Amino acid sequence: MADIRLVQKLGQNLMITPQLQQAIKLLQLSRLELQDYVEQQLSENPTLEESPSENTGEESYEEITAEEQMREELREANSIVDPIDRSEVGEADWEILARQQELGQQASSTKNNKNSNEDVNSFESVLSRPESLTEHLEEQLRFLDLDERELALGLEIIGNIDERGYFAAIAEDIADRTGCSIEDFEDMLDMVQRLDPLGVGARDLKECLLIQVRALHLKNGIVEKIIEHHMKDLEKHNYQGIAKGLKITEDQVIESVAKIVGLEPIPGRQFGTTSDQYMIPDVYVFKVAGNWVVSLNEDGLPRLKISEFYKDMRETRLKSTDKEYLTDKIKSAQWLIKSIQQRQQTILKVTNKIVERQKDFFDFGVQFLKPMILRDIADDIEMHESTVSRVTTNKYVHTPRGIFELKWFFNSPVSKTDGGDIASEAVKSMIKKIIDSEEPKSPHSDQKLVELLEKQGILLARRTVAKYREQLNIFPSSQRKRMK
């Protein structure tokens, strides 16, 4: 039998402290989430407070002169927090954070922006939340003369209608949950389908269109027959085949198709489940004296500092428990300030390198976007790829060419006939440009797009072109063909 003994061993273990967990959380938060988090910390930690903003007015980035460039560059390193003694809090080790990816949970969904500066006009604070499709349907249902069981069944059906307005459940499952028969379910579904908007509660596109045909009194006509029996021909714009199948003229088909085009294939389109989200950039990129300059967007973010009152109180005679509590709160506030400061500086550092590598994009447009991967920037700034990934996710940059997520600048390479590479986003832009200029009556097939791109020196497989086209939300050629 083996002896049971206590053995002492020396070893190194990688530990992650609560402070480092907070640092990695702040790094991956979006701007709005960071604002909410700071507001929460201000309410929970009495030693943390805001200091008045030093900005006294708004500035037009387009009108900045060369004389002001030096002053701008000095302001670039400014963060949303006041500087603190580096001896009090150590630097966050991003490499440790990178090797502890399993501890970094994805940030929660973006909340409504709480603007702490009341002098800044905020659309979010004045716009009311739009009515959702579910609320709109439930309100109509409650006005109908229904008993409790029928109302419960109707509400169950409405609860299973997706944001597009389609019924997305199985009839048998609803019947089992509510204890009703399939006949009762069909009767109630028919009642829901008569509510506004027209076509709501349909199980597929055909039923959606037929509901609208019924409401618009087009039933038993050519329009209904086309929807019932010739949907595939309709998608392919095969009007001759429809005319032959229905034994009518092609002109009659075109006239009926014009009515179908006027129907709504997505009944829930006009409703939103959430209020509009306004994009607020984290950084600005603008041109000064021929050079591209990157500057942090500090508007709307409170400047944080440690309360002098509680600092002085800590030096007075307090109970040991009170002093310990106060010390912990001050340390927590100091670490939060330092973490936010490092977050801002890291975003600035990454954006500067992106601008440096993608200068041609800023000068000439998306066609000149270069292939770039996370490792390229990670090597430049000597950080881990996972850190760069967190910095560029849900962070936005305002440029003269529009607002982009920082992650958008990272593109896989596409081979060219001359042996070079081009960014996939640049290729997508080329595909969109070709399709925008095509003849509406004779749109380009995916194979034709392959051939046209090859003439421009781009080598792509047909399936890759199809994938890029779908990512651009462009229909295939059979569905892009317009009526005569």
Average pLDDT on 116-125 reads: 41
In a domain, 294, yes or no: yes
The pLDDT, as a whole number, for residue 356 is: 93
Amino acid in the structure at residue 183? E
> In the predicted model, is pLDDT for residue 252 greater than 80?
yes
Please give the residue that has the higher pLDDT: either 239 or 354.
Answer: 354
Rounded to the nearest 5°, which phi and psi values hold at 167? -75, 120
* Same structural domain, 258 and 216: yes
Instruction: Based on the fold, state whether residues 143 and 266 are members of the same structural domain.
Output: yes
Nearest C-alpha neighbor of 93 from the set 275, 338, 305? 338
Question: Is pLDDT above 50 for 423?
Answer: yes
CA–CA separation, 266 and 290 (whole Å): 48
Give the Cα-Cα-Cα angle 467, 470, 472 (nearest 5 degrees). 115
Return the structure tokens found at 217: 């009194």
Other beta carbons within 10 angstroms of residue 40's beta carbon come to 11
Q: Omega before 197 cis (within 30°)?
A: yes
Residue 223: CATH number of its domain:
1.10.10.1330
Is the distance from CB of 110 to CB of 248 less than 8 angstroms?
A: no
Choose the final residue of a domain: 398, 428, 461.
398
Q: Are residues 137 and 245 in the same domain?
A: yes
In Å, what is the CA distance from 474 to each residue of 206, 429, 433, 434, 467? 22, 12, 12, 12, 10
Distance CA 198, CA 329 (A): 58
Q: Kindly indicate the confidence band of residue 117, based on its pLDDT and cuts at 50, 70 and 90.
A: very low
Cβ neighbors of 248 (< 8 A, separation 6 or more) are: 222
Higher model confidence: residue 109 or residue 291?
291
SS3 161: strand
pLDDT given at position 473 = 85
Does 341 reside within a domain?
Answer: yes
Reply yes or no: is the peptide bond before residue 83 cis, omega within 30 of 0: no
Which DSSP state fits 167? B
pLDDT band at 289 (very low <50, low <70, confident <90, very high): confident
221-235, 274-288, 333-347: least confidently modelled range: 274-288
pLDDT reading at 164 higher than 80: yes
Is 481 exposed, middle or buried (CB count within 10 Å of its CB: 0-12, 13-18, 19+)? middle
Residues 190 and 161 in one domain: yes
pLDDT at 215: 85
Residue 71 pLDDT greater than 90, yes or no: no
- Same domain assignment for residues 250 and 313: no
Residue 197 included in any domain: yes
The reply to whether 308 and 391 lie within a common domain is yes
- Which pLDDT value is given to residue 358? 92
Element spanning 51, H or E: strand 48-51
Residue 421 has pLDDT above 80, yes or no: yes
DSSP line for 266-307: -GGGG--SS-------SEEEEEETTEEEEEE--TTPPEEEE-
CATH code for the domain in which residue 466 is found: 1.10.10.60
Name the residue range of residue 440's domain.
Answer: 414-480
pLDDT at residue 99 is higher than 70: no
Looking at residues 50-59, what average pLDDT do you find?
A: 54
**112 confidence band (pLDDT: 50, 70, 90):** very low
pLDDT recorded at residue 2:
62
Q: How far apart are CA 158 and CA 188, in angstroms?
A: 10
DSSP code of residue 179: T
| Domain identity same for 254 and 298 | no
pLDDT (tens digit per residue) in 329-353: 888 888 888 888 888 899 999 999 9
Domain count, the chain: 3
- Whole-angstrom distance, CA of residue 339 vs CA of residue 318: 29
Q: Is residue 457 part of a domain?
A: yes
Residue 220 pLDDT level (bands cut at 50, 70, 90): low
Task: Give tens-digit pLDDT for 3-36.
Answer: 788 888 787 765 666 666 777 788 888 888 888 8
Strand 396-399 and strand 283-288: pairing? parallel
* Residue 319 belongs to a domain: yes
Rounded Cα gap, residues 58 and 424, in angstroms: 37
Instruction: Indicate whether 141 and 260 sit together in one domain.
Output: yes
Among 339, 371, 398, the domain-final residue is 398
* Model pLDDT, residue 56: 40
pLDDT of residue 202: 93
- pLDDT over threshold 90, residue 193: yes
Q: How confident is the model at residue 145 (pLDDT cuts 50, 70, 90)?
A: confident
Q: Which residue, of 206, 236, 270, is where some domain finishes?
A: 270
Confidence of residue 219 (pLDDT cuts 50, 70, 90): low
CA atoms within 13 A on the CB side of 179: 3
State the average pLDDT over residues 92-116: 44
Q: 277 or 42, which is more confident? A: 42
Q: Are residues 218 and 297 in the same domain?
A: no
What average pLDDT does this structure show over 44-60?
66
Structure tokens at 259: 């009515």
SS3 403: strand
Q: Record the pTM.
A: 0.56
User: Do residues 93 and 24 touch, judged by C-beta distance below 8 A?
Assistant: no
The answer to whether the CB of 33 falls within 8 A of the CB of 111 is yes
Do 383 and 446 fall into the same domain? no
Percent of the chain with pLDDT over 90: 18
Which of 265, 264, 246, 267 has the alpha carbon at shortest distance from 255? Answer: 246
- Is residue 397 predicted with pLDDT exceeding 80? yes
Is 310 within the bounds of a domain? yes
Q: What is the pLDDT of residue 236?
A: 78
pLDDT tens-digit map of 292-330? 999 988 887 778 888 888 888 877 777 888 888 888 888
Q: 50-64, 339-353, 448-462, 466-480: which has the minimum mean pLDDT?
A: 50-64
Distance CA 370, CA 421 (A): 8
- Better pLDDT: 116 or 422: 422
* Owner of token pair 């009839």: 171
Task: Please state the length of the chain.
Answer: 484
Q: Mean pLDDT in the chain?
A: 79
What pLDDT is recorded for position 116?
41
Question: Does residue 126 surpass a pLDDT of 70?
Answer: no
Q: What is the per-residue pLDDT for 118?
A: 41
Same domain, 191 and 99: no
Taking alpha carbons only, the member of 69, 80, 16, 109 closest to residue 300 is: 80
Residue at 255 is within a domain: yes
What token pair was written down for 384? 């881990």
* 162 lies in the same domain as 92: no
Is residue 406 in a domain? no
Q: How far apart are CA 367 and CA 361, in angstroms?
A: 7
